[in-house]
Amino acid sequence: MSRGVRIGLQGKQSLLLALLLAAIVAALSMQVLSGIREDQKERLEQTFARQAEAANLRVRDAFLTGERVEAKPFMEKNAQRLAVDLGELSGMPVTLYDTDGAIAGTSLPIQPRTDASDALAYTAQGMSAYITEGDALLYLAPLYNADQLLGTVQFHASLADQNAFYERIRDLFLYAGLAVLAGGFLVGYLFVRRQVSVIRRLNRAAQQIGRGEYLSAAPVKRRDELGELAEGIFDMSGSISSSVAQLHDEKRKLMEAIARLTELERQQKQFIGNISHELKTPLTSIRAYADLLEMYADDPALLGRARERIGAEAARLYELVEKALQLSAMDVYDFETKAEQVSIVPLLKEAAERIRVKADAAGIRLTLDLQEGSVWADPDNLMHIVLNLLDNAVKYNVPGGSVALSNRLAAGETSATRAPRMIVEVADTGRGIPPEAQPRVFDPFYTVSGDRSRATGGTGLGLSLVRSLAEKQGGAVRLVESGPNGSRFALELPVREPKRES
């Protein structure tokens, strides 16, 4: 199926402008030419009226001063002479008719052959008449002596000059109209072309936005409606770009959240398996010793050993359940803290004393290097943080190893503020944490290895709980270093109450 010729906006507007100019020029020309015709007609009528009046005066004068005769004999006797006189007086050829319509006299060398019977009928009734033949015009008017009709006077005039003037004006309008039409069309074409060029640029800008290529500036700079449209397209481009960027950012965050949730789901499944095993192991041990006690209740040695093992396994169960409940409470209930100004040295010494028995039992040497100072924290939470760090340092150490607890005042190292911060460090001489596991040691449910967890009673909850508690104090905890010679953890706490944002 063939498609018709497409006329663009540029062609349509130019054609419309040309038609409007043509209509204006045509209407103006018709009005002016019509006015010229009317003016020529009025001037001729005025001229012939004056000539007719002058002719009447001349004929009446001749009739009154001459011999008293009737109208027809008067015309037969004086018409030729009067025609010549009137022709000289008016500057136009003159012909006189009697009352019967016959030619009585003429100033023309040859008698006119024009049929003037109809016009003479009008003059007989006292009216004037015109006869037009090409460029010749005959004007006929009645001649009177008072109320007595003497005949008809006919003036011969040429319209050649008037027609030539009319034609010159008509041609002038024609040529001027064509020139105005061509010039107006050219100016309109160029003007519309410029506007269409702007519209095309705006269209290209819209298509560019549709392709996802957003604008860095308005496509055109103008102080009119097209300029306002360009600014609107630019603003729309910015809004779309910002919205798309936000959508991409939200998509990225959503994908990260999905990945994180997937990982957490995997860790939770792992934790459920681990904790199920961890709960089952001490319970199996307790049940086995309970059966032995029932079977050998009279064996003192078995009684002592069973009491010791049942107590140890019960303590392990208690620690496991307590940490799981604390971490769950922090995640679900936002675990409120009651921060206050806490003297750091007494708290660190108390924590060291609490862990010293366990350290001595494992053959681990515990050393302190403490400096006076205070921090803004919840004392119970802070104690729990330090005990967890010290417990891990003892638990994952090597026989005959050591644990060092120290503190110092320094500028903020991990926070955005540079306000003074208290740094508490716990260093051990243990086996260290593998590099691939270091970024995840603070993740909940994560354990470096299953064998290591079962050997030490670890659940993967301790460091996650430490991080959550530290952040709730307005501080942070991090793994400074870890390797074959041991690990070093740093706890950073504010020394004064943080300023609250208004």
Say yes or no: 445 and 356 in one domain. Answer: yes
Q: What is the pLDDT of residue 429?
A: 93
Query: Is residue 310 pLDDT above 90, yes or no?
Result: no
pTM over 0.85: no
Q: What is the pLDDT of residue 352?
A: 92
Position 412 confidence tier, pLDDT thresholds 50, 70, 90: low
| Domain end position, chosen among 140, 174, 208 | 174
Query: Is residue 455 pLDDT above 60, yes or no?
Result: no
Say yes or no: 462 and 344 in one domain. Answer: yes
Q: Measuring CA to CA, which residue among 436, 421, 414, 361 is closest to residue 391?
A: 361
> pLDDT per residue over 178-198, tens digit each?
787 777 777 777 777 777 777
Q: What is the pLDDT of residue 372?
A: 94
Position 422 confidence tier, pLDDT thresholds 50, 70, 90: very high
> pLDDT per residue over 365-394, tens digit each?
999 999 999 999 989 888 888 988 998 899
Q: In which domain, by residue range, is 341 found?
A: 336-502
Q: How far apart are CA 65 and CA 145, in angstroms?
A: 12
| Domain end position, chosen among 296, 319, 334 | 334
Say yes or no: 370 and 477 in one domain. Answer: yes
For a pLDDT cut of 70, what percent of the chain falls above it?
Answer: 83
Say yes or no: 408 and 262 in one domain. Answer: no
Q: How far apart are CA 467 and CA 444, in angstroms?
A: 10
Q: How far apart are CA 384 and CA 142, in angstroms?
A: 140
Say yes or no: 317 and 464 in one domain. Answer: no
Q: How far apart are CA 492 and CA 411, in angstroms?
A: 10
Domain with residue 264: its CATH number is 1.10.287.130
Q: What is the pLDDT of residue 335?
A: 44
Say yes or no: 280 and 308 in one domain. Answer: yes
Q: What mean pLDDT do residues 319-324 have?
A: 66
Query: Is residue 502 pLDDT above 80, yes or no?
Result: no
Query: Is residue 144 pLDDT above 70, yes or no?
Result: yes
Q: How far apart are CA 196 and CA 411, in angstroms?
A: 65
Say yes or no: 368 and 501 in one domain. Answer: yes
Query: Is residue 318 pLDDT above 70, yes or no?
Result: yes
Q: What is the pLDDT of residue 1?
A: 44
Position 70 confidence tier, pLDDT thresholds 50, 70, 90: confident
Q: What mean pLDDT do residues 243-265 have?
A: 85
Query: Is residue 235 pLDDT above 60, yes or no?
Result: yes
Q: Does residue 459 lie in a domain region?
A: yes
Say yes or no: 20 and 55 in one domain. Answer: yes
Say yes or no: 457 and 481 in one domain. Answer: yes
| Domain end position, chosen among 131, 148, 174 | 174
Overall domain count for the chain: 3
Full 3-state SS string of 16-46 = HHHHHHHHHHHHHHHHHHHHHHHHHHHHHHH
Q: Of 64-78, 85-99, 148-162, which range is least confident?
A: 64-78
Say yes or no: 320 and 352 in one domain. Answer: no
Say yes or no: 376 and 447 in one domain. Answer: yes
Say yes or no: 325 and 342 in one domain. Answer: no
Contact predicate 230/221, CB 8 Å: yes
The two tokens of residue 27 are: 């209407």
Q: Does residue 465 lie in a domain region?
A: yes
Domain with residue 360: its CATH number is 3.30.565.10
Q: To which residue do tokens 């103006």 refer?
A: 28
